Amino acid sequence: MPASKLISLVFVLASLIFSTLTFADCSTHQQTISQAQAAEAKSLTELLSQWNLAYYEQGISLVNDDVYDQTLKRFLALQSCFPQLQLPSLTPQQSHKVKHPLVQTGLNKVYSSQELAKWLALHQHKELWVQPKADGVAVSLVYLNGELTQAISRGNGELGEDWTEKVKKLPNIPQQINTNLPQLVLQGELVWRLEKHIQAKQDSQGARSQIAGFMQRQQTNLEEAKQVEIYIWDWPNSDLTMQAQVRQLTDWGFTRSQGLTQPVKSLNDVKHWQNQWYTQPLFMATDGVVIRQQERPKAENWQAKPPDWAIAWKHPAQQAVTRVSKIVYTVGRTGRITPILELEPFELDQRTLSRTSLGSLNKLKQLDLQTGDLVTIQLAGLTIPQLKEVLVRSLPRIKANHPPENTFHFLSCLKASDIQNSPYPIGCKQQYLARLTWLSSKQGLAMQGVGESTWEALLEAGLLVDLTNWINLTQEQLEKVKGIGIKRSRLLVRNFKLAASQPLETWLIALGMPPAGNNGLFDNGEITNWQNLSNKSLEKWQLRKGVGIKRAKDLQVFFNHPEIKKQTSFLAEMGVEGF
């Protein structure tokens, strides 16, 4: 990460006070808590050092800005407890470094519209401009008498790498410009060109790493060079207005800067352009917008630290760093165990989130995830929070106590009494209710107004014996159930009777029959009843398209399972056709 970026973050974050256990004053904690904090602080130091080293030595960004900023924030909060932990010096080595003719200042950042509103209020009488904040690598271009003579990487703002020879081979950067100025210094961003890139939908696609890696490589080809664009965001020592600057830059051949500097007077103006550049196609990745003041000190007096006349407003975070506070397990109707991570609340896409599903018990075991671990979360499909990676593992590690995978299966928890008899009653109750919820859903018997809350109320009232006895429930029984009442009890009785008239195949799906292939359940001429299916051999099941040996066994077991047969006998007594 650039030194100026870290310097600005230190200024902003060092004054923050955190109220969580992790960020509290460690002197007030018990020894075990302080040991855990020390281990985390050490891990964060190593992680940040690794990221910084990769950026400086290889020009590769191993992590996006959201994760870096949030990880640094946690480190700075812990560092007050463990001052002996320091990040390595971020100043680039002096060899092969050249001095910027005009300093690159860096930027302070805000992450919410409320923070930005405060900054705008302090600058309300100034002429302001907004630009997209490019996600690339910063560079200074120096032209003498119209000829490109130097290209300098941002470095620490005062000293950077000499990129001149590399930049002179980039076809999209003007090598000669028509000007009478003896010296011209432009500050901008080298970016990796993306086609119709929409930041809100596509994130940054590793664009910064691509351009940074390209600039570090000794050998590159012309096709790669064509992918590099220059976006000029400042002409530091110009006396022209921002709009006049852009017109002149366009005349000189810096066409990518056209339309990307806009006047603003209010928070709504900034929001408009931020939304425009975040949700509409651009040729480059961005990670926010920058608001600049027209009136500024002379560029010769700038310093390599964030000024008060410019601010960056970051796009909504695409990834968040948070802590696993608890791991719980849910059991679906087929017996699949799904681990759910309960997390310290965090914000993504302007939503506060606090949990995510891991999908499978196997994934949890592979990740060796435990309570207290620091993880990164991203939005899958822009809506669903999804674990991306484990950043820091909590210490000490404890032996995991996951429920065994074979505890539940597609024929477990078929009746209410199974719940109390299960070694994991909570999971069995979840599976039992999931079965009933599926049974009443559109995929099953399509009972209008009957969902999980209805079944849970009936279960708590002691009215559910198994998956089918609800057919016999009377209005008087239902009226006594908490939360149902007279009107709803009538509707339920009506829906239960309608369900009893559903055809056999619909009932079989509702009861949880395994998928029986791609064709109709019965062959031409077969008698469409339960007994016919119960008598089928494995060989006959496998003759069905889409049914292999495992599915055939599952079907045979289902149709001959004692509890399923008991419940289907009850349905036969109730006059349900086909049983």
Residue 301, classed as helix, strand or coil, is helix
Q: How far apart are CA 191 and CA 199, in angstroms?
A: 14
What's the gap between Cα 264 and its chain centre?
31
What does DSSP assign to residue 385? E
* Under 8 Å between Cβ of 50 and 6: no
Angle at 16 between CA 292 and CA 285, to 5 degrees: 40
As to burial, measured by CB atoms within 10 angstroms (0-12 exposed, 13-18 middle, 19+ buried), residue 408 is: buried
Q: Give which of 396, 400, 434, 398 is closest to 414, Cα–Cα.
A: 434
* Under 8 Å between Cβ of 375 and 51: no
Q: How far apart are CA 209 and CA 545, in angstroms?
A: 49
What's the gap between Cα 120 and its chain centre?
30
Q: How far apart are CA 79 and CA 38, in angstroms?
A: 9
Residue type, 471: I
- Can the peptide bond before residue 92 be classed as cis, meaning omega within 30 degrees of 0? no
Structure tokens given for 150:
């130097």
Handedness of CA 392, 394, 397, 400 (dihedral sign): negative
Q: How far apart are CA 171 and CA 225, in angstroms?
A: 7
Measured CA to CA in angstroms, residue 499 lies from 444, 502, 512 at distances of 9, 5, 16
What does DSSP assign to residue 58? I
What does DSSP assign to residue 411? T
Residue type, 257: S
Spell out where 100-161 has E strands. 109-110, 128-134, 137-144, 147-153, 159-161
Angle at 311 between CA 310 and CA 313, to 5 degrees: 150
Answer left, alpha or beta for residue 546, where phi above 0 means left and psi between -120 and 50 means alpha. Answer: left
Catalytic residue list contains 133: yes
Structure tokens given for 87:
């990040």
Measured CA to CA in angstroms, residue 101 lies from 166, 188, 363, 521 at distances of 19, 14, 53, 80
* Under 8 Å between Cβ of 37 and 29: yes
CA atoms within 13 A on the CB side of 305: 8
User: Active site residue: 133, 314, 415, 429, which one?
Assistant: 133
* Under 8 Å between Cβ of 188 and 141: yes
Residue 288: count other Cβ atoms within 10 Å of its Cβ: 23
CA atoms within 13 A on the CB side of 59: 21
Q: What's the count of helices (H) and strands (E) in the chain, helices before strands?
A: 21, 16
The residues that are catalytic are 133
